[in-house]
Amino acid sequence: MDKSRMILAASYTELVKMMKAGRLDVFAEDYEVMAGLASIGTLDVIGDAAIGHAPLPGTHPNPFHMIFSRKNPRGEALRQLVDEELESMRRSGQLARLLAKYVKR
């Protein structure tokens, strides 16, 4: 990859401005990041009709990771609790409903 042709920007807002000004053609970012920025009112790239979005061909979704401290005596218990709750939400369909509501694809 020729990194000398890469353009750096100070923020996502600057990336979008550069794209709309014709200074760049594409940028890659996880969908969840863009959905999160839209949900907090920072930047709505997904809902912007002037900008398209599509999965990168040949790529797979990135898994989500949470980090729990091994030094904190409650870290392992918290990890187990989160794992159990996520599994319960998955089985009940609640997780899919939340993802559909907050991470629109």
Distance of CA 63 to the CA centre of its chain: 10
Instruction: Give the per-residue pLDDT at 92.
Output: 98
CA gap 102, 65 in Å, rounded: 18
Distance of CA 11 to the CA centre of its chain: 15
Residue 74 has pLDDT above 90, yes or no: yes
Instruction: Give the per-residue pLDDT at 1.
Output: 66
When pLDDT is cut at 50, 70 and 90, the band that residue 66 belongs to is: confident
Residue 52 has pLDDT above 80, yes or no: yes
Residue type, 6: M
Helices (H), the chain: 12-20, 31-39, 75-92, 94-102
> What Cα–Cα distance (Å) separates residue 9 from each residue in 16, 28, 32?
10, 13, 20
Instruction: Give the per-residue pLDDT at 104.
Output: 64
